Each structure stands twice: as structure tokens, then as C-alpha cells.
Amino acid sequence: MSIILHDLAGADPELRFSPYCWRTRFALAHKGLPVETIPWRFTETAAIAFSGQARVPVIRDGDRVVFDSWSIAEYLEETCPTPALFGGTIGRAHALFINGWADAVLLGGIARFIVRDLLDVIDPKDQAYFRTSREARFGMSLEAVQAGREERLAAFRDTLLPIRLVLRRQPWLGGPAPSYADHIIAGTLMWPRCASRFPLLAEDDPVAAWFGRMLDQYGGLGRNAKTP
């Protein structure tokens, strides 16, 4: 029986752009588990009410319901230990740091480059909610948040230095092979890839080379994803 994943989609149901859902999609693929994805939109809260909250990703594995990408990764590691996502207790602790860093630094940084672009790919029924909620969060219009992004790009790329330094010494954040740490960062970068045409990574950046390898993992799961 396939695991069912409720996954954020755009107006096009094949366009899946949530960074958290992509972390889960990579983790499921890493485990080699069959999955059925169900498109979900921002205002379809009733569709996932069974989970007791209102955000995706949500998975259903038989009678078990799990939400939140980190909790899902822990669940997958517990119920399907191999191939490992974390590589033990120390690896889990390291991945938790990467997860926190990505949420605190990368997601907020990326949002300021693509948040207005997102309005063009989400379902029309979600647009009023998205604009109102995000403008309240940023305290300005979506257009103002995204303005001047070309001039801010170099500073954003500087924030990737910790990843860059690791990738200069080893092929993956997980060492000799991808781990959940790689899935976290790659899933985060799938957000701008699947929601915007604005290029965040320089072509000669080691992070871009690593991301290209991640796109080709798991039968080209990331590479073959729908983009705008």
C-alpha cells in the first residue's frame, strides 16, 4: 500500500512548490517507498482537517497520520530504518541543526526574492488569502518585498557559504552519500525552482553543482518536476 502525501500545488496540479513537501518527497524517495501525492491548496483546510492542523506536508500510512516535514522524516526513519536518512543519533542531531538553519536563514532569504512570483503560480482562489497573509507578515506589499532583488542577490549568495565550504570537502552534506541534511537544503531550493524563474544560484557555485546532482537523484525526481 502506498503512503499518501498531501502536497501543496499551484493552479496547475502538477506544479508542486512547497519546500517542506519537497523535503518529504526526497525522504520518501530515499527510502524507496511508494507514494501517492494528492494536490492541496492554501485555502483547502478542510481537506486535511483529519490531521488536526492546517498545513502540509501530511502523510497517511495506513491508519497513521503524520504532519510536519521533520516529524515525517523521524517517522520514516523509525518505521523503515534502511536506507538511513540520518545515520544514527549524531546524524539526526546534525540534520536537526541544518533543518533549523534552513528554516531561519534560507527560507526567509529566498522569500524576499520570489514571494511576488508565487502569486502568479498559485490557484486563483488562494490569491487573496496569500497576498493578505504575506503582506501582513512582511508589513509591505509583495511587490515591495521583491523589489530590487537583482541588487540583493550577491548578499544572499554569501549566506550559502556554510554549505559551500562543506561541499568543497565532500560530495554531499551527508558525506559520501545524500542524507536528510541534503534533502532539507535541496527541498528548500526546490521552492524557487518550482515557483519562479529568477536564478538564485550562480552557475559556477559548488552549491549549484551539488543541487544539480540532487535533482538527478531518485530517478530525476527533482529534475523532472514541473516548473513555471
Mean pLDDT (10-residue bins), the chain, 228 residues: 96 98 98 98 97 98 98 98 97 98 97 98 98 98 98 98 97 97 98 98 97 98 98
**What integer pLDDT is reported at residue 193 of this predicted model?**
98
Delimit the domains of the chain by residue range.
3-79, 89-220
Which amino acid is located at 190 in the chain? M
> Among the CATH numbers 2.30.30.230, 3.40.50.2000, 1.10.10.10, 3.40.30.10, which is that of 3-79?
3.40.30.10
CATH architecture of the domain covering 89-220: Up-down Bundle (1.20)
E strands, the chain, where? 3-8, 35-40, 58-61, 64-67
Give the burial class of 205: count Cβ atoms within 10 A of its Cβ; 0-12 exposed, 13-18 middle, 19 or more buried.
Answer: middle
At which residue does the C-alpha cell 503512503 appear? 3
Half-sphere exposure of 43 (CA within 13 A, CB side): 14
For residue 16, the SS3 value is strand
**What integer pLDDT is reported at residue 147 of this predicted model?**
98
Cell of 103: 528554516
Give the burial class of 174: count Cβ atoms within 10 A of its Cβ; 0-12 exposed, 13-18 middle, 19 or more buried.
Answer: buried
